[in-house]
Structures are given as structure tokens and as C-alpha cells.
Structure 1
Amino acid sequence: MRGYYEKTPEESLEMLGVTSNGLNDEEITKRREEYGFNELEEAARKSPFQVFLEQFKDFLVIILLVAAIISAFLGKLESTIVIMVVVIINAILGTIQHIKAEQSLKGLKALSSPVAKVFRNGQKLEIPSRELLVGDILYLDAGDYVSADGRILESFSLQVNESSLTGESESVLKFIDVINKDDVSIGDRKNMVFSGSFVTYGRGVVLVTSIGMNTEIGKIANLLESAKEKKTPLQVGLDNFGKKLAFVILIISAIIFGLDIFRGRNIIDSFMFAVSLAVAAIPEALSSIVTIVLALGTQKMAKKNAIVRKLHAVESLGSISVICSDKTGTLTQNKMTVQKVFVDGKILDHDSLDHDKTLEKNLVLMALLCNDAVTVENKEIGDPTEVALVNLGEIYELDELIIRDQYPRLGEVPFDSDRKLMSTIHQFNDKYIMLTKGALDVLLSRTVKVETSEG
């Protein structure tokens, strides 16, 4: 079966039985029964009590529990109480760490878009993103998170950041043309958008083709849920140590028991002595010390925004000397910043411009005016390069919205991949001036003069 990227917008609409008026109430009810809600399914989470009980599965902990039971039979209640307190504290620490990690992971889900703009029953509506259906006509604007996979019907300089899927930090320019190739990778399906990505520029209209677990990000979530857990090197080492220790203790206790019998001591007294020796030889504090040390490690990592779900994973991370990756975007903040500025024949640091000098002041003003990006309530909306220029203005306490009100845009030529330039027209002191930014090679080929302080 051909993918949607191989079909025209008209063929995609016809295949899903959708008209230009969008879905009607009858189709919405029918498709809700067929497709369900647009959300990622989660495996049943363990209750805190289940997590607490799992802390007792460790082999060394089992040995300690056996020692506690034997101590109780021997009438040594102090030893029993000490061992049980140590084991319970160990279990509580592990449970607390697990719950804190789960809460942190839930916080990551806030990245998903809570609402979506759709066209239903011939009118534009705003609905919760979880109510999106296959066949919905979805509207996307700069700053929107994409709530589902879809085929692009209309694109007006639409650019989408797909780093969550591809690892590429640069935004992808989208189009509506058919891609006549088989097995095209996600990054090359430029006539489609995918759930979890982010619109950085322009606007578009999309036909929803997949929701929930059927989206590309849903397939990744399914793989994560089905992945099998393996014991960490520390867990394997502690298990092996516990087994060897138990074996050695049993052998020594048996030898002591035999020697006591050989010396003519009472069997019951000999047995009690051997058991007491075995209990004394077990390192009751080892499990707790390991847990406390690992818990301290997770706290240090949490301060650096690294969430550790399993305590023992800290030791595995500490053993890593080399990390290999084929993508840089996933290892960075995925954020561009201005580092150097060339003005008046000099290269300056981004934070060392003199705002009293006309050339340097005008450069920052032009960077904010020939620009569509905005920062609102710590949310950056727009192309990463344009956001970097807006952040440059903030260093000098210039608000892009105020500047654009002072020098309103009278006309513009939007950026496109052929021209590689963006131009806007503004009025400065009764003069109409066109500001242009874009690819350096294209700009230099059109440049006839570079302004300096000397003229």
C-alpha cells in the first residue's frame, strides 16, 4: 500500500472519506469508536506498595530476612530488630527514588499540545488534542505543537522542528508535492508532519492520518514499553557476592558444627552456636550503604537535570567512559545563540556591543525588525536563527514587540528556499528602507557597499 507521502492531497482526502468541510458529527462518533482517543497508551504502573515489595527481591536482602527469622527463633530480638530496620529503610529509600523519578517523567508529558485547531462541520474549532481523529483537518501556526501525524494539504512557508524524532536541530521546510519514492525515511517525508514536532515558522493545513499509538512517536513509545529490563553490573555483582557469601558462611558453619560435635558438645548447643555464627557473619549494613550511596548519586544527577528511574542505573552510568551517538541535535539544547557580531570592520563578542554607537545600535534594531520570532512568557516561538537574534536584543534590553510597534512593517518578501533571503520594508526618518537577512553567499553577491563609521 502506498504511503500518504506518495499521494496527492486530493487522493489522501478521498482515501479517508473527508470533504473540504471536515468531519461531521456522525463521522466523529463513528471514527471515535474505530480509532479511540489521540493519546499514548501506558503500561499499568506499579503502585507504591508493589514497588516497596520489589525492594525485597534482592538476593542479599533475602539472606538478611532469613537471618532475621533465625535470630528471632534463637531469641535474639535485638539482632532481629536491627536487621529488619536496616532492610525496611533500604526498601523505603528505593521506593522514594522510584516515585520521584515517575513524577519527573510525568512532568515531561506537559510538552504535548493541550489544544488543536480543526475544521469540523464547515467551521473552525479549537478542541483538546486528545480528541483529534483520523480524517480531521488540522490548522498549524508558528508556535504550535503538532498533535498527530498528517499529510500537508496547504503550506505557507511552513517550517517544522522534528528534532524529537530525527535529532536534526534545523527546521524542515514543508511542501505539498508528491514524493515518488519507496521507503522514504521520516526526515525526508517533507510533505507530512509528525506528532511531537514543533512549528517554528509559517502556517499550514494538515489532514490527520494517524493518532495515538499509530503515530511515529507512538511506535517509539511502544518499543520503549516492550523493552526488557536487564540487571545492572552492580546488581549482578551484589547477587554473585550474596550467593558466594551464603555458600562460604554455610560451609564454615557446617565445619564449626561438625567440630563442636566431634569435641562432644551437645547437638542442640552446637547447632545454635553455628547458626549464631552464620547470622553474625552476614553484613547487615551492606545493602543500606549501597542504597544510600546510589541515592546520593541520583540527587547529584537530578541537580543537572538527569532523571534516574532505577537506583542501580547510577552505577552503570558511572562506569561509562565513551558515549557514541550519530546525532548532535539530541545531545544539545537544540538552541541557537549569537556568539560573534561583525560590524564596522570588526568582529565583536555578542555581549560587547556599544549601544551608543549608531552602527551597532542599528544592527540590533534591524535584527529584530527583519524577523518573525517572538518570546512570550519564556516561550520562544519562531525559527531558531530568528529566536537567536531576538535573544541578542534582550541582552540590550530591547523588546522585539515594542521595536516593531515603533517601526511597523510596511511590506515584506518572505523567506523561501530559492531566494534564500527575507526582506521587510520600514520607514526611518521619512525614508523607506528595505532590511534583508539571509544566506551570506547570496547577500554578498548582491552587496555593493558596506557601511562603516568612516562612511
Structure 2
Amino acid sequence: MNLSFLKQRLLALANKGLPARQFRRLAFLDFLRGSAVGEKVPDRLSAYLVEMSRATPDAVLGDLESHQDGLSQAQADAKREELGPNEIAHEKPMPWWEHLWLCYRNPFNLLLTVLALISYLTSDMKGTTVIGTMVVVSTLLRFVQEKRSNTAAEKLKEMVSNTATVLRRDPAQTAAVEAEQFFGVRLHPRNPRKTELPIKMLVPGDIVLLSAGDMVPADLRIFGAKDLFISQSALTGESLPVEKFPQQSDASVTNPLELENLCFMGSTVISGSAISIVISTANQTYFGALAERVTAADQEPTQFQSGVNKVSWLLIRFMSIMTPLVLLLNGFTKGDWVEAALFALSIAVGLTPEMLPMIVTSTLAKGAVVLSRKKVIVKRLEAIQNFGAMDILCTDKTGTLTQDRIVLERHTDIFGQPDDQVLEMAYLNSYYQTGLKNLLDVAVLDHAELRQELNLAHNFRKVDEIPFDFVRRRMSVVVSEREDHHELICKGALEEVLAACTHVRNGGQTEPLSLEWLENIRQITTKLNLEGLRVMAVASKDLPPTRSVYGVADEADLTLMGYMAFLDPPKETTRPALQALKNSGIEVKVLTGDNELVTLKVCKEVGLDIKGVLMGHAIDEFSDEQLMEAAANTTIFAKLSPAQKERIVRVLRSHGHVVGFMGDGINDATALRAADIGISVDSAVDIAKEAADIILLEKSLMVLEEGVIEGRKTFANMLKYIKMTASSNFGNVFSVLVASAFLPFLPMLPIHLLVQNLLYDISQIVIPFDNVDEELLSKPQKWNAEGLGRFMIFFGPLSSIFDIATFALMWFIFAANSPEHQTLFQSGWFVEGLLTQTLVVHMLRTRKIPFIQSRASWPLLVMTAVIAAVGIFLPMGPMANYFKLQALPLGYFPWMLLILLGYMGLVQLMKGVYDRRYGWQ
């Protein structure tokens, strides 16, 4: 740290009368708050972290006003009041006014505002009112809907909030500590209270206990560690974990991420345990400084956002071409350029899908609510569309295809014969390990025979343990039954345990591990694997009682004792769920760290179509192109490392697939982040839940398939609005161009276009609640801006045919063929135009025959009927003069009915042509 700066800051604080022990902390926070984050974290932050790394534990405790037994609740509350919660700034909910601005700020609302302003400047108050109403309604609906969705999402997130294990002192312990400080002697032993706190409640000075599977909740200084391995990939991009120690071995290190006794927020505990102290929280952490730089930069659009943007700009491009054409045509033919300009502005409004942001948000929010009822928590609304677009699902085997209840099926010697001694050793290993207990440990500890007949724990005492990690794939404990004897018991994956063995137990004798023995061992274990059993090896060795601390180096010269064989039966729902996913066009690939033979057996039992098996060691030899080619013909990927899982996901995505990944373990976190949609479960480790976009409260593929269907319903309803609006508006503008070329007056006044467009948009507000045809749910759905443009050009002019028929009807039959009778002409086209627009909602929402083969939801039926009635009422009722309309003769309505029937028949016919040529969706 810059000492001259620190001294100046200390003097300034001293002049304020602050206690001396607060100086350094406040000085650090002061300069950090004012520092700018550029390409790296501030130099002063790096200097602070280096200094905390070099300081003695007592100095760190004093600097942070803490104690080896932790903070008292009062101390923690006071610090939190001063410093705020332990949350990165971008995670905090935005103020309401900022949220309201974001709801307003989209290309369409900005365009409408410009149009409203021009209308106001040209004294067109009615136009200004209608356009302003559109903007206000669209913005407020989106604001209210997103506010409700965000509130619901926050409540759901609380169900899966992450916590940290913290030491707290109660008031009596706090008083004892103060008395000891006064007298200088320890009065009596203390026992601080362990408590689980939400990560956001942590403050500098908190004593935090770490174990395998934990997220590092803040920047920490390690006081004590046992085989502690940390994954810093979120900060450094390095996939391999690094080991942390209580002391920094190289005093010359200045890069914070290379300090051996510091852990950083955003990293993960892979294995081991530690006791540590919080030195920085929230934005004052290394991660917070990086996050500030990241949030300052533009975020790369997601696939969903890119799709919406492409569609939006496609519609705007249509508007930018059609509006000038309308202006020029009406200006030259009518001679009134002011009126022509106002009419062209109305056309621009009519072409603008101003309700698109609200419709998109409403459909996504409605999907999130429906999924929450099916025990699916949506952390990010846009993930729902990705759910529907997913065409490949990568999933683990254990607990997903199979039950989360592994049973201990056999305990055998190296010949595959039952052996109680192997069972006893496995029990001691599982009982005394303090790391993350997996399902195999639980199965051993829950074994009925052990609970009823064995009382091993009272006969042995634990000396030490060597925790599990994903590199060794084994773990060991050292126990003692007699004071003159230590015994190391190791259990883990077969190949990894064999790698540490030099002998085997043959009956009562110990023999060297020869090639002949290896061949025999592999034959026996392969036979067990083919029966669907997962095999774990158990080995041991005797040690003299000369030490109390052991490490990985002691896992050598072991004697193989036998095997533990576990059965993980498939879930009853797995087979139908896999079939349902297949019917939905989703290919399932199994990515597992487990044995390929066991995985193959389980996959066959659940009916998964297996195209090929690929081992982890082979993947490292492939280029990305070779891996993609191999992955296309592979269903099972076995013996994978976390980095290999992530690479497979990235390669699949890079070739146009929308990839989902379902996992719940520490080793799944990077793949969850790499996938288009990360799926985890509420029982997953913290880091997996944090990385996921969607969290299942029930670990079942059947629930997942329901989520896929809901995602496709959501997308289908969004696409309905865009197709209907785009084609209908394009058809109207095309009709305007034709009419403007031949009529001596405007075919419709600007106010008519604006009211018609507003009523049409209101009729579609309930589209998020519409029914979806089954065939639209049978395959993944993706954005296709090119296809939307083709759809507009194909179906838009169809309505123009019947608009022109209406022009002829009004001109020749009802003699509305002069400027004196233009109001009658405009009223006739207003009613026909609104009814065809409303009718197109039902015609284009389905490939089938509307009202007969496919019926809209009752809210949409009611809403469109109401809007149609309002459209007829406006010219026929008392408000006709206000909107510059007039009552239509009763003879008009039979003609209008014929026009509508003809329009329905032609659209239905052309739907078949379009479907055969391009496909409907």
C-alpha cells in the first residue's frame, strides 16, 4: 500500500476524532470508492490485498476489528449499516424511475414520441393524444408486468439463496473477550457459535468456514487450511484449481490472484476445508472491481435479444421505405403536402409494432408464472425462449436418468466374493471424512447391516484425512484402533485407487500387484459394471504412529482390499420423459464422469437411443472440428473432467445448436455457464445454482419436458403477434398506396389510421394467454427475421385485394366518389379495415381452419369480438362526428360480410400454399 497516502488519510481521520483502529479500513474504502476501474483493478486495491496477505493473523484481526472467535451480532450489524450488504452493485434492483425509462426506451416508443411531437407542432391534437396514449399504455403495461415478474423472481430466488458458514459470538462471549483484553489473561474457554448466513449479510471481519462445494462469499484471508483447492476460473479463465495455504511462501508476489493465502469472491472450493476472515465485501472485492468494469461495457446480446432486434429492425426498414412513398404519392396527387405529411406520419405509426415490447414481456412473464406452478424457477425471463429453442440437452446420469437414492448392493473381496472387512473399512472412511459427502457415502452410512451390527466408530479414533478432489478422484482417512498403529483407508474410483496400489490382499496373504492380478481385477469389475453396478475400490496400508498430519504423498504403496458395488436404479419417469423429449425434437446426450459401462447399461435400460460412446481422454486429442464431427455421432460421453464438459457444450453451440445443460455438481458449473440455458436443481451445490438460468424444484426430466413445451408456447405466441401485425400493417400500407394513386381525396384520415391501429393493438393484448396448436410444439423454435419478411410480403397484399374491393363498393355502389362524400368512403374502409385486421388475428394464429380445427383462447375471442363491435359502433354511434366518421347505410353490411368471407377463404387457401413451400413456423 502507498504509505505516504495512508499516513495523510490517517491524519485526516484522526482530526475527525475517530478511533485509531478504524483508520486503515476507512482509508482503504475511501480511496477505493473514488478510484476508476480501467483495464484492471485499481493499483491501490492490489496493494491492499498484498498487504493483507503479508500481515500476521493478529494484525489482520486487529485491522478489521475482529476476533478469532468471530464478530458479535452487534458488531456485524454496525459494519453492515456503514458499508452496506455484500452485493455487487449490478445485482441490486434498479430504481423505479430507471426501470420506467428502460421500459420506454426502445426504437418503437422513441419513434412514436417523435411522431407525437410532430403532430403536436402541426396542431393535430387528436393525433397527438392517440399516439401519446399508445406510448403511455405500452410503457406502463411493460413496466407493471416486469415489476410483477421481477418481484416474483426475487421471491423465488430467496428459496435458493446461497449461504456461508460464519462464526458468531453471543453477548456473554463478547463480554468475556473484553474482560480478557483488560486483564490480559484468558478467563475460560470459549465456544463460538456456527451459523449459516446469506452471503449478502457478511461484513469485513467475519470468520468464515469453507468446505468443498462452497462459493467463496467475499475476499478472504486464510488462517488455517487442509488440502484446500480453489477454482479461480471465473476470474482467471484457468480451468485447473489452485491450492491455498495459511502462509504466502513467496514474498515477492504482487499479483493478487497468485497470492496463496487469499481467496476471492467468485471462486469455488473444489476440495478441502479452511477457516478464514473476510477482508473485503461487495464492490470493494477484487471481483467487484472487475464487475464494475464489465457492467460499464456493453453486454453482448443473448440469442433471444439478437432475434428480437433483427425482427424489430426489419419492421423499421419496411417503414422507412413505405412512409416516403406514401408522402410523395399523396403530395403529388393531392397537392396538399401538409395533409400528405400528416397522413404519412400516420402510416409510419401504423407500421410500427408499438406493442411488441409489451407483448414479448407479457408472454415471457406469463410463461415464468406457469413454470413456477410446475416447480420450475426462472431466474432470467429470456431463458424461457431458449427453453423452447433448445435442440440438444446435455445431462448428467446420476440423479437425472437414475434415482437420487443409491443403494449399497455388494461388498466383496478382489475375487467378487462377499467380505465384511471391506464393508467395515468403507464405513470408517465415509464416517470420518468431513468433506462433501456424496451419494455413495450416504449409501454406505445408511447400510442397515452397519447400523444394527457394527459399532466401529467407538472403537477407532480419527487421526487425519486426505480430502477428495477431482484430479485424484479418491479420498483417504487415517484412523487408529491402538496407540501403536495407524491405518490409512482409501476409497475411490477403481483406476485411480489402483494407481496408488502396489499389492493386493489374497485371503489372509498380501501379494504384489502383478499384470496377471490387474487383468483378473478388470475382468471381475467389468462383470459388475455390466450388471449396472457402480464399482468403488477400497485399499489400505498400515503406518507407524509417528505423525498426526498426512497428505496426498502418503497415498502410495497401498494394498487393494476389495470393492463396493452400488446400484443406482433408473427412475420410473425417465423412459417416458426421454421419449417425450425425442418427440419434441430434442436430442439427449449424457455427459458424465462415471464409468462408460455403467452409463451404457443405464442408458439402454431407459430406452435412450445410443449412437456412440466417447471417452474423456480421447476428447483432448481432438480439434474443435474433429470433436464436433465426433459429437454428432455420440450419445454418451464418459469419464469427463469439468473442462471437457464445458468444451463439448461450447463446440455444439458454435455449430448452430441451442444447447441446454443440466447439472447439480461442482464440476458442472463451467458447463452450466457455457450453455445457452443452464438448468440446475434446488438441491445442487451453491455454485451450480448460481450459474444456472433455470432451477428445478424437482429433479426430473419430465418436469424439464414440460418446461420445454411452455417455452415453445411462449415463443409461438410472441411470433403470432409479430406475424399478424407485420403482415396486416404492410397490407394496409399497400392498400393506401393503391388508393392514393387513384382517389381525389385521402382514403382514410390520419386520425382514422391511429384509432384503428390502437384498437387493433388492444385486441392483441391477451395473445400471451392464447392456445397453441400441438404441431407447433413438436420441434424447437428459433427466430427467423428472413422468414418474417417473406411472410409479410406473402400475406400482407391479400388484405389489399379486399380493401380494393371495398374501395370499388363505396365508389360505385354507394356513390362515395367525390370529396364531398369522402367521409362515407372513409367510414366504409375504416370498418372493413378494422374487421379484417381483427379477423386476421384468428386466421394467422394457426395453420388450421380457425374456429373449427383450432380455436383461440376465450380471452382472445372475447377481446377481438369487443374490438370488432367498437369498430362498428364508432361510425354508427354518437361519437361519429368526433372521429370524422358517419353512419353507414344498412345495405353496406351484407356486402361487407361477403368481403370478409372471401378474405377468410383466400387466406386459408394461401396458408396451404405457403406451408407447402416454406413451412408454417
TM-score (norm 1): 0.60
Cα RMSD over matched residues? Answer: 6.0
Alpha-carbon distance between aligned partners in 2 of 1:17 and 1:287, rounded to the nearest angstrom: 49
Confirm or deny: 8 A CA contact 2:218 2:265 kept in the other structure: yes
Other structure's SS at 1:51 match: helix
> Structure 1 residues 279 and 363, CA, compared in 2 at 3 Å: closer, same or farther?
same
Q: CA deviation at 1:36?
A: 4.0
Work out which of the residue numbers 403, 426, 435 in structure 2 matches 1:367: 426
Q: CA deviation at 1:80?
A: 8.8
Match of 1:398 in 2: 447
Match of 2:409 in 1: 353
Other structure's SS at 2:462 match: strand
Q: CA deviation at 1:239?
A: 5.3
Q: Deviations over 1:311-340 (max 9, x none)?
A: 5x8779999999xxxxxxxx999x999x9x
Confirm or deny: 8 A CA contact 1:93 1:292 kept in the other structure: yes
Confirm or deny: 8 A CA contact 2:224 2:276 kept in the other structure: yes
Quick check: 1:159 aligned with 2:221? no
Q: CA deviation at 1:426?
A: 6.6
Q: Deviations over 1:333-372 (max 9, x none)?
A: 9x999x9xxxxxxxxxx76825899837765664343125
> Structure 1 residues 370 and 67, CA, compared in 2 at 3 Å: closer, same or farther?
same
Counterpart amino acid of 1:255?
Answer: L
Q: CA deviation at 1:148?
A: 4.5
Quick check: 1:175 aligned with 2:224? no
Quick check: 1:247 aligned with 2:320? yes
Other structure's SS at 2:283 match: helix
Q: CA deviation at 1:202?
A: 6.9
Counterpart amino acid of 1:152?
Answer: I
Match of 2:209 in 1: 140
Other structure's SS at 1:182 match: coil
Match of 2:479 in 1: 424
Confirm or deny: 8 A CA contact 2:265 2:285 kept in the other structure: yes
Alpha-carbon distance between aligned partners in 2 of 1:433 and 1:296, rounded to the nearest angstrom: 62
Work out which of the residue numbers 399, 409, 412 in structure 1 matches 2:462: 412
Alpha-carbon distance between aligned partners in 2 of 1:270 and 1:8, rounded to the nearest angstrom: 78
Match of 2:89 in 1: 42
Q: CA deviation at 1:53?
A: 4.5
Q: CA deviation at 1:238?
A: 4.9
Counterpart amino acid of 2:261?
Answer: N
> Structure 1 residues 370 and 413, CA, compared in 2 at 3 Å: closer, same or farther?
same
Alpha-carbon distance between aligned partners in 2 of 1:404 and 1:163, rounded to the nearest angstrom: 45
Alpha-carbon distance between aligned partners in 2 of 1:360 and 1:168, rounded to the nearest angstrom: 43
5 Å-filtered alignment, 1:8-407, equals 9=56, 16=63, 36=83, 39-40=86-87, 42=89, 45-48=93-96, 50-64=98-112, 73=125, 89-90=141-142, 92-101=144-153, 110-113=161-164, 115-117=166-168, 121=178, 125-126=192-193, 130=201, 132-134=203-205, 138=207, 140=209, 148-155=218-225, 157=226, 159=228, 162=231, 174-180=244-250, 181-183=252-254, 186=257, 189-195=259-265, 204-206=274-276, 208-229=278-299, 232-234=305-307, 236-238=309-311, 240-241=313-314, 243-262=316-335, 277=347, 279-283=349-353, 286-287=356-357, 289-291=359-361, 307-308=379-380, 311=382, 353-354=409-410, 359=418, 366-372=425-431, 382-384=434-436, 386-393=437-444, 398=447, 406-407=455-456
Identity %: 17
Counterpart amino acid of 1:252?
Answer: L
Alpha-carbon distance between aligned partners in 1 of 2:359 and 2:379, rounded to the nearest angstrom: 21
Structure number with greater CO (CA < 8 Å, separation at least 6) is: 1
Match of 1:437 in 2: 490
Q: CA deviation at 1:277?
A: 5.0
Alpha-carbon distance between aligned partners in 2 of 1:47 and 1:38, rounded to the nearest angstrom: 17
Other structure's SS at 2:164 match: coil
> Structure 1 residues 146 and 314, CA, compared in 2 at 3 Å: closer, same or farther?
closer
> Structure 1 residues 440 and 274, CA, compared in 2 at 3 Å: closer, same or farther?
closer
Alpha-carbon distance between aligned partners in 1 of 2:410 and 2:354, rounded to the nearest angstrom: 66
Other structure's SS at 2:490 match: strand
> Structure 1 residues 24 and 93, CA, compared in 2 at 3 Å: closer, same or farther?
closer
Alpha-carbon distance between aligned partners in 1 of 2:357 and 2:479, rounded to the nearest angstrom: 67
Q: CA deviation at 1:51?
A: 2.3
Other structure's SS at 2:409 match: coil
Between the two proteins, the alignment pairs up a number of residues equal to 407
Q: CA deviation at 1:307?
A: 2.7
Q: Deviations over 1:144-168 (max 9, x none)?
A: 876553443444x353655685688
More helix as a share of residues: 2
Which shows bigger deviation, 43-52 or 353-362?
353-362
Q: CA deviation at 1:210?
A: 3.6
Alpha-carbon distance between aligned partners in 2 of 1:230 and 1:442, rounded to the nearest angstrom: 46
Counterpart amino acid of 1:111?
Answer: N
Larger radius of gyration: 2
Q: CA deviation at 1:55?
A: 1.9
Alpha-carbon distance between aligned partners in 1 of 2:398 and 2:254, rounded to the nearest angstrom: 32
Alpha-carbon distance between aligned partners in 2 of 1:401 and 1:228, rounded to the nearest angstrom: 59
Q: Deviations over 1:4-23 (max 9, x none)?
A: 58637469559949898789
Alpha-carbon distance between aligned partners in 1 of 2:141 and 2:343, rounded to the nearest angstrom: 29
Other structure's SS at 1:40 match: coil
Which shows bigger deviation, 204-213 or 13-22?
13-22
Q: Deviations over 1:363-406 (max 9, x none)?
A: 566434312578xxxxxxx434x434324447xx5389958983
Match of 1:328 in 2: none
> Structure 1 residues 174 and 89, CA, compared in 2 at 3 Å: closer, same or farther?
closer
Structure 1: runs of 5 or more not aligned: 323-330, 340-349, 375-381
Confirm or deny: 8 A CA contact 1:160 1:174 kept in the other structure: yes
> Structure 1 residues 365 and 190, CA, compared in 2 at 3 Å: closer, same or farther?
farther
Alpha-carbon distance between aligned partners in 2 of 1:269 and 1:176, rounded to the nearest angstrom: 80
Q: CA deviation at 1:407?
A: 2.5
Other structure's SS at 1:415 match: strand
Counterpart amino acid of 1:55?
Answer: C
Other structure's SS at 1:45 match: coil
Counterpart amino acid of 2:501?
Answer: L
Other structure's SS at 2:228 match: strand
Confirm or deny: 8 A CA contact 1:158 1:201 kept in the other structure: yes
Other structure's SS at 2:465 match: coil
